[in-house]
């Protein structure tokens, strides 16, 4: 029989890392440069972007990924709905975050106040980032049709489960890569303390610590989700037919 002591210890650490990471990005975006604004000030509108992408890709998506492990005693239909609901929130928040980045390019003004748009989708960050968001939406759509919409026979649900899992993990890793590139890009473009003046400023400290916490959070999330002993097992009573495919589907889904 598996004991979950070490699981809950790591899970608590993971949730703490997430809380600190989200707090740090909020402090970074709200505490410097006048905080976030909207289209009247596109440079400050940008400040929604890192905040929203972190909330969507790490808070909502990360919590959704871990929900079957964290709430292992809550009935499956409820956790399934929470999983899908959190992923849906992630999509909405991501769209908002992308709009903020896009506007900050399209509505950019020169120092005389004339419109001087910055071209979109030039950086590696933006290429990997947009691919992550598009694939994330496709993963959601496929997951919705397969596991939430009634009608698909159990053996197909079981068949697609390893792919659904692998896809989710790959997208989480891609989101981490995108965020780290975004952090570096922002530091390189906007924080002249280290590039021009040659010292380490407070904003850099917060930015770097945010990146470190994001990596630590992502690593613990991947450990929690990948360790085989911690995979949720359905109560015996629910495993109705000892037919290999169906049993596997109930356990895995
Ligand atoms: C996983 C989360 C993220 C995704 C999916 C993502 C995606 C994107 C995309 C698609 C763009 C292009 C917008 C355009 O071309 O108009 C962009 C721009 C940008 N993002 Fe992110 N982003 C993420 C997180 C972050 C974070 C945490 C930062 C940190 C500050 C950041 C900094 C930037 C910067 C500086 C730009 C403007 C320059 C550029 O186009 O590369 N991003 N992001």
Does residue 178 have its Cβ closer than 6 Å to ligand 1?
Answer: yes
- The CA-atom distances, in angstroms, between 225 and each of 65, 161, 169 are 8, 14, 9
Residue 179 Cα to ligand 1 midpoint, Å, equals: 7
- Establish how many alpha carbons lie within 13 A of residue 120's alpha carbon, considering only the half-sphere containing its beta carbon: 12
pLDDT of residue 51: 98
- The CA-atom distances, in angstroms, between 94 and each of 28, 51, 105, 205 are 19, 10, 17, 26
Distance CA 29, CA 33 (A): 8
- Establish how many alpha carbons lie within 13 A of residue 237's alpha carbon, considering only the half-sphere containing its beta carbon: 1
Could you please report the per-residue DSSP string of 110-155? -TTS-B-PPPSS-SHHHHHHHHHHHHHHHHHHHHIIIIISTTS-HH
Does residue 100 have its Cβ closer than 6 Å to ligand 1?
Answer: no
pLDDT of residue 235: 59
User: If pLDDT is split at 50, 70 and 90, which confidence band does 233 have?
Assistant: confident
Encoded tokens for 75? 């009935």
Query: Which of 33, 42, 126 is the pocket-test mutation for ligand 1 (most atoms within 8 Å of CB)?
Result: 126
Does residue 211 have its Cβ closer than 6 Å to ligand 1?
Answer: no
pLDDT mean over 20-38: 98
pLDDT of residue 166: 97
Tell me: pLDDT of 13 over 60.
yes
The domain ranges of the chain are 3-249
Distance CA 243, CA 178 (A): 42
pLDDT of residue 243: 46
pLDDT mean over 207-231: 97
pLDDT of residue 247: 45
In the predicted model, what is the mean pLDDT of the chain?
93
Kindly report the CATH class assigned to 3-249: mainly alpha
Tell me: pLDDT of 248 over 90.
no
Encoded tokens for 81? 């709905």
Query: Which of 125, 173, 218 is the pocket-test mutation for ligand 1 (most atoms within 8 Å of CB)?
Result: 125
What is the pTM assigned to this prediction? 0.92
Tell me: pLDDT of 239 over 90.
no
pLDDT mean over 217-233: 94
Does residue 57 have its Cβ closer than 6 Å to ligand 1?
Answer: yes
Per-residue pLDDT of 140-186, as tens digits, reads 999 999 999 999 999 999 999 999 999 999 999 999 999 999 999 99
Q: Are 91 and 140 in contact (CB under 8 A)?
A: yes
Shortest-distance Cα residue to atom 29 of ligand 1: 183
Per-residue pLDDT of 88-120, as tens digits, reads 999 999 999 999 999 999 999 999 999 999 999
User: If pLDDT is split at 50, 70 and 90, which confidence band does 240 have?
Assistant: very low
Shortest-distance Cα residue to atom 4 of ligand 1: 129
Residue 85 Cα to ligand 1 midpoint, Å, equals: 24
């Amino acid at each position: 029989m598996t004991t979950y002591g070490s699981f809950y210890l790591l899970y608590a650490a993971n949730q703490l890392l997430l809380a600190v990471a989200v707090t740090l990005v909020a402090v970074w975006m709200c505490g410097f440069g006048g905080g976030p604004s909207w289209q009247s000030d596109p440079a400050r509108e940008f400040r929604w972007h890192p905040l929203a992408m972190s909330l969507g890709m790490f808070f909502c998506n990360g919590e959704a990924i871990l929900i079957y492990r964290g709430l292992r005693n809550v009935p499956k239909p409820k956790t399934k709905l929470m999983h899908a609901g959190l992923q849906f929130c992630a999509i909405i928040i991501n769209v908002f975050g992308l709009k903020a980045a896009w506007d900050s390019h399209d509505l950019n003004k020169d120092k005389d106040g004339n419109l001087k748009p910055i071209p979109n989708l030039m950086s590696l960050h933006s290429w990997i980032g947009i691919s992550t968001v598009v694939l994330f939406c496709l993963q959601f759509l496929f997951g919705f049709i397969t596991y939430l919409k009634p009608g698909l026979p159990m053996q197909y649900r079981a068949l697609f489960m390893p792919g659904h899992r692998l896809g989710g993990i790959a997208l989480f890793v891609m989101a981490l890569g995108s965020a780290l590139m975004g952090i570096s890009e922002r530091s390189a473009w906007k924080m002249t303390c280290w590039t021009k003046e040659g010292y380490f400023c407070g904003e850099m400290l917060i930015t770097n610590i945010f990146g470190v916490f994001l990596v630590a959070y992502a690593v613990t999330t991947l450990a929690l989700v990948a360790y085989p002993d911690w995979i949720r097992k359905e109560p015996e009573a629910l495993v109705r037919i000892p037919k290999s495919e169906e049993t596997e589907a109930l356990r895995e889904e």
